Amino acid sequence: MLLAIDVGNTDTVLGVFDGSRLVADFRLHTEPRATGAELGLVVVALLRSAGVEPEAISAVAVSNVVPDLSRSLEDLGRQRFGGPPLVIGPGVRTGIRIHYDDPSLVGADRIANAVAAQHLYGGPAIICDFGTATTVDAIDAAGDYLGGAVAPGLMVSHDALVERAARLSNVDLAAPTAVLGHNPRASMQAGLMLGYAGLAEGLVARMRREMEGEPKLILTGGLAPLMAGLIPGVYATDEWLTLVGLRLLHELNTA
């Protein structure tokens, strides 16, 4: 079995693949100071809670945007799973061309998303990933990565607003019933949810004008199911797109 680990700035998502089938998934808060041993204890406990024995894991693939965890993730693979993980980055085969001034600066999760989008849905496509950052990336008909845009994530904006506006407090992220809010909670929900839907919609429209063909719109990330009903023209919502991309990249680099 393959353990795929997508380390984000806020959350870490793990998936266990038996062949091409995702048989278990977990989400936990990212702790940048965690050691390899600490990660090992948590991961083993999660695996066993899902009925997966750690000995069944034969390989690990990692997408990591938190540099402080790089050594710990290497240690996790060596200490618990018999060898170093495949860490997506420079030198790893992707099977696609990356149109970026310095390809090494593209986040590993964005490359994994591009690879999975091409495999599952075909290009051209635009991928919106709603995480700590909101990323909007494009691939062409051949699956090559064309570039993208990065904006602050929805929760980043929520937290900044609450921190800097003395009379505003935390709200649940839920789709508002109207854009005209009649109390602080409803007004914030409208501004955050519909505002980010508009941000994504606007970026997608501008990207489409720069691309050939009719790109499919694919949403991913933890907030994707919540945003899907607010953005028109969504072709697919796939919360596990990054994990599938890690599986595909692992297959490509171990074939």
The per-residue pLDDT for 168 is: 84
Cβ atoms of 192 and 170 closer than 8 Å: no
List the catalytic residue out of 6, 75, 109, 238: 109
Query: What is the reported pLDDT for 173?
Result: 86
Q: N- to C-terminal Cα distance for the chain? A: 15
Q: In this structure, what DSSP letter does residue 184 have?
A: H
- The number of beta carbons lying within 10 Å of the beta carbon of residue 46 is 18
Per residue of the chain (255 residues), what is the pLDDT tens digit? 999 999 999 999 999 999 999 999 999 999 999 999 999 999 999 999 999 999 999 999 999 999 999 999 999 999 999 899 999 999 999 999 999 999 999 999 999 999 999 999 999 999 999 988 999 999 999 999 999 999 999 999 898 989 888 888 898 888 888 999 999 999 999 999 999 999 999 999 999 999 999 999 999 998 999 999 999 999 999 999 999 999 999 999 997
The structural architecture, per CATH, of the domain 107-246 is 2-Layer Sandwich (3.30)
Tokens 């590993």 found at = 108
- Dihedrals phi, psi of 251, to nearest 5 degrees: -60, -40
> Distance between CA 241 and CA 243 in Å, rounded?
6
Instruction: Give me the pLDDT at residue 167, please.
Output: 85
Residue 219 and residue 241: Cα distance in Å, rounded?
9
Q: Is residue 109 flagged as an active site residue?
A: yes
Task: Determine the Cα–Cα distance for residues 118 and 24; give it in Å rounded to an integer.
Answer: 23
Residue boundaries of the structural domains of the chain: 2-87, 107-246
Q: Do domains 2-87 and 107-246 have the same CATH topology?
A: yes
User: Taking the model in full, what pTM does it have?
Assistant: 0.93
Q: What is the CATH number of domain 2-87?
A: 3.30.420.40
Instruction: Give the separation between CA 220 and CA 209, rounded to whole angstroms.
Output: 22
* Number of Cβ atoms within 10 Å of the Cβ of 140: 19
Tell me which amino acid residue 135 is: T
Q: What amino acid is encoded at 52 in this protein?
A: V
Q: Residue 236 and residue 119: Cα distance in Å, rounded?
A: 13
